[in-house]
Amino acid sequence: MTKLCICQICTCGKHRCPHRPYGIIGKGDQPCAVTEYRSEFIPREGGVRESYKPDYKIQASTVPLDDETTHKHDFIRYALDKQRSYKPEEVYTPHGEFDSLTSYNKEYTPKDGERARPIRHDAQRKISAPFEGDPTYRTDYRKWETGRTEPIRHDAGYVPPSDPFRGESTYTTDYLKHQGAMRQPIRPDQSVLQSKDPFDDRTGYRTDYISHPQQERFQRAKEQYIPNQVALDSLTTHRRDFTPKDADRTRSMKPDLQGFRSNAPFDDATTNKTDYKPWEVQPIQTHRPDQYRANPGEMDLNTIYNSEFTPKPLSKVTAMRPVERHGTDAKFDGNTTYLGDYRKWPGERPPAIRSQAGYEPPSMPFEGLSTYKGHYIPHDAGPQRSFKPDSTAYRSTVPFDDATMYRTEYTPKEIQPCPATFLDTPRSGFVLHHVEPTGHKFYQPQHELLQTQYQQQQQYPIAV
């Protein structure tokens, strides 16, 4: 069933749907201009909203500038004394001799030992007598007489088994699942490493170290703090200049949270509820494969290889060995075709070609006439004619033949009016099908409507 809008029916480009006022011919897939927001939310009359931005005014003062700064007022100049020199603390050096005997010097004493001798092997002894004996290779690996390996051929064809196929593989029948116990950890027993003897914590440091009394460290006496007797002037620039002012509370710039309210009931009729209707869903039918059926009759297992390639009597292939060459005691003949045919002929260098006599200048005086002047004689010629066409156009007395191909071939046709012009009239070929809630109209061709009615009459005839 075909449902068309006025934009799709129009062929002249002048009729457009109010829902698509900017549509173009042939581009009916553009979005509809009428939306729920434009139809439901009607603009209300209202004035210009007042700005909450405060007025910008410059706060000017006529009081003269006071150049007395905080630095000039608070920081008073005091007399400075000479800085005392700082002497570092004296390093305390204990008296007596230092006992440098450690456990290393006590336990590891120098020992007397001989120098290690280099290990040298005796030289290999050579035996002058020849070796007599058979190696393991000759005694164990003997040469056996072997014949040609015969090809493996099946004498009879394939015989299918008579037992029915059970569907069990060799892996399933041979490899059975056994219940095994839990694997024991490979971690060694920690009880072996434990000892019942008390821990011996007597080290060389504890036994050999002797604690000596240490004198007290020299401490310098701290200077006692003497507070200032002058009272502190706590008047700052901030307290003096920024005095409290009487001012009202700043008004809030936040707008009121009172939106537009309506007492009309909410229309919950959405496009999803009106257009998308629930349809009955049938369960998915699974495809069952066809049951296997064996072909009747016996299978001919006789192949072309078994029928054509039969065993043939063959003889052993003789080895292809090259013919051995025997040495010749005759004298070498060095005469070749080149030495016999191409003989050396006596030849000398050709003499240079030189003139018999020297240059002799002519005895006649030079006339000064060249070949160009003697052969090419100048001739008198007029100015060259211009090949530029005349400015006068070609004129003919024959009447103009205006019989063009367009006038002879293209005959005037009758212009069909736009079908959108006759909508909602008796001459229209389209019938109104339905109107959407948004006001969008859809039309159906009249011949499809008549065809649908005719099919319904044929399917459900009226009883007379």
Q: Is the pLDDT of residue 286 over 70?
A: yes
Residue in 408, 398, 148, 160 with CA at minimum distance from that of residue 294: 160
Mean pLDDT to the nearest integer, 139-147: 78
Read off the amino acid at residue 52: Y
Q: 259-263, 282-286, 381-385, 421-425: lowest mean pLDDT where?
A: 259-263
β-pair partners for 431: 444
Q: Is the pLDDT of residue 94 over 80?
A: no
Mean pLDDT to the nearest integer, 6-20: 75
Mean pLDDT to the nearest integer, 336-363: 76
Q: Show contacts of 403-408: CB within 8 Å, 24+ apart.
A: none
Confidence of residue 18 (pLDDT cuts 50, 70, 90): low
pLDDT 10s digits, 162-214: 888 877 888 888 887 777 778 777 777 766 667 778 888 888 888 888 888 88
Q: Is the pLDDT of residue 24 over 80?
A: no
Do 17 and 8 meet the contact criterion of CB atoms below 8 Å apart?
no
Tally Cβ neighbours within 10 Å of residue 442.
16
Q: Is the pLDDT of residue 463 over 60?
A: no
pLDDT 10s digits, 364-416: 877 777 788 778 877 777 777 788 877 777 777 888 888 888 888 887 778 88
β-pair partners for 4: 443
Q: Is the pLDDT of residue 31 over 50?
A: yes
Do 438 and 34 meet the contact criterion of CB atoms below 8 Å apart?
yes
**For residue 274, what is the DSSP state?**
H
What pLDDT is stored for residue 259 in this prediction? 67
What pLDDT is stored for residue 20 in this prediction? 60
The phi, psi pair for 442, rounded to 5°, reads: -125, 135
For residues 393 and 204, what is the distance between their CA atoms, to the nearest angstrom?
A: 135
Instruction: Give the CB-side neighbour count of residue 127, counting CA atoms within 13 A.
Output: 4
Residue in 428, 427, 429, 432 with CA at minimum distance from that of residue 443: 432
For residues 420 and 173, what is the distance between their CA atoms, to the nearest angstrom?
A: 82
Q: Is the pLDDT of residue 26 over 70?
A: no
Return the ∠ at Cα 239 (arms to 235 and 244), rounded to 5°.
145
Predicted TM-score of the model (pTM): 0.23
What pLDDT is stored for residue 38 in this prediction? 65
What pLDDT is stored for residue 154 in this prediction? 65
For residues 15 and 4, what is the distance between their CA atoms, to the nearest angstrom?
A: 13
Residue in 454, 455, 433, 458 with CA at minimum distance from that of residue 443: 433
More confident site: 116 or 236: 236
Do 15 and 4 meet the contact criterion of CB atoms below 8 Å apart?
no
Q: Is the pLDDT of residue 63 over 70?
A: yes
Mean pLDDT to the nearest integer, 129-145: 77
For residues 464 and 461, what is the distance between their CA atoms, to the nearest angstrom?
A: 9
More confident site: 269 or 39: 269
pLDDT 10s digits, 43-59: 666 667 777 777 777 77
Read off the amino acid at residue 267: D
Distance of CA 462 to the CA centre of its chain: 70
Percent of the chain with pLDDT over 70: 85
Q: Is the pLDDT of residue 28 over 60?
A: no
Confidence of residue 357 (pLDDT cuts 50, 70, 90): low
What pLDDT is stored for residue 464 in this prediction? 42
For residues 18 and 14, what is the distance between their CA atoms, to the nearest angstrom?
A: 12
For residues 253 and 395, what is the distance between their CA atoms, to the nearest angstrom?
A: 90
Residue in 18, 24, 22, 23 with CA at minimum distance from that of residue 38: 18
- Straight-line distance from the first to the last Cα atom of the chain, in angstroms, rounded to the nearest whole number: 31
Mean pLDDT to the nearest integer, 353-363: 72
What pLDDT is stored for residue 260 in this prediction? 67
Read off the amino acid at residue 426: P
Percent of the chain with pLDDT over 90: 0
Residue in 439, 432, 427 with CA at minimum distance from that of residue 17: 439
